[in-house]
Chain A
Amino acid sequence: MKETVEELIQEAILELNEQMEEDRKVSYSEDLKLIGVNAALESISFVTLIAILEDLISDRLGKNIIIVNDRAFSQERSPFRSVGSLAEYVTGLLLETE
């Protein structure tokens, strides 16, 4: 499942890049920082990425999940700190729906 999620995040980043100025585009890597100081994405780009990812999960996996919720923000370490942690978190959400 985690591999599938990583592939979907890669695809979401490609789609996000299509909407970004050349100097704002980002490359997929597990360490890519999504939020916080020195994040690769501006807040609106992060929101867009999450929206695209929710959409891809719905289309490809037929699962309706809300990625950003109170639980995500209540965790000691934010699941949005990097692409790798996002993949782990989303994988967990998807496994809970099975």
Chain B
Amino acid sequence: MFIVITGASKGIGLALVKHYIEKDHTVIGCSRTKPDFEHERFCHYPADVTNYEEVQEFAFAVSKTHPVVDVLINNAGAASMNHFMLTDPRSAERLMRVNYLSAFACARGFIRLLRKSQHPRIINFTTVAVPLNLEGELAYGASKAAVESLTKVLAKELGSFRITVNAVGPAPTKTNLIANVPKHKLEKILEQQAIRCFAEFEDIVQVIDFYMDPKSDFITGQIIYLGGICR
């Protein structure tokens, strides 16, 4: 498979790159900074996915060497946790750009290449903060709620192209995203899960592999939360 992963320079994005390279896929990673990783089946493209023009140039550059993209993983994202009254509206706007508009722009940019795949997939990242309506995560949760809406509506609008669109909502995972979240707040989130522990990278990959599986052609418009978020 030919896989495009955004936010590929660190954290889950870079781990996904390495995982799919290990599974013999070809991966193009996109991020502003170059990851500390090289492989003959991995190519890095420097782009800011919040910049629509740069995304278009990225997709065009990919099309020159790889006319077919099988999977687009919109992993690029950022988090900011603070009370509403302590959140700068510009911070909320930035999160909307990084989390939602980047996924929108990448989906738009890669449609042409995805259409040519036998099993085209778009996979987005959401968070348990959406169904749990977590206090202190308004800006982050709202931007991810937009991603969920994007996932469901795109699934309908791209169904005629056979492109499936799904999202994975990890439970708190030990990455940079939660590095600054106080321990007691993380524990409060874990208390709301059916299985009260941090997610591991393998848990996230399991869901993505399921969405990517050629046998999952009929799985679309779905959001899978890890840890057992029972609404």
Contact = CB atoms under 8 A, between A and B. Distances in A.
Interface of A: 44, 47-48, 51, 54-55, 58-59, 64, 66
A58 B111 contact: no
A3 to B, nearest CB: 23
A59 B112 CA distance: 11
Given A48-B160, A58-B63, A66 B56 contact: yes
A64 B115 contact: no
Interface residues of B, number: 12
B57 A64 contact: yes
A51 B161 CA distance: 10
B111 A51 contact: yes
Contacts of B115: 51, 55
B54 to A, nearest CB: 12
Closest 10 A-B residue pairs measured CB to CB?
A64-B60, A55-B112, A44-B160, A54-B112, A58-B63, A51-B111, A51-B112, A64-B56, A51-B115, A66-B56
Contact of A48 (B56, B57, B63, B161): B161
Where chain B touches its partner, the secondary structure class is helix
Contacts of A47: 157
A55 B56 CA distance: 13
A81 B67 CA distance: 30
5 contacts: A51-B111, A51-B112, A55-B112, A64-B57, A66-B56
A51 B157 CA distance: 13
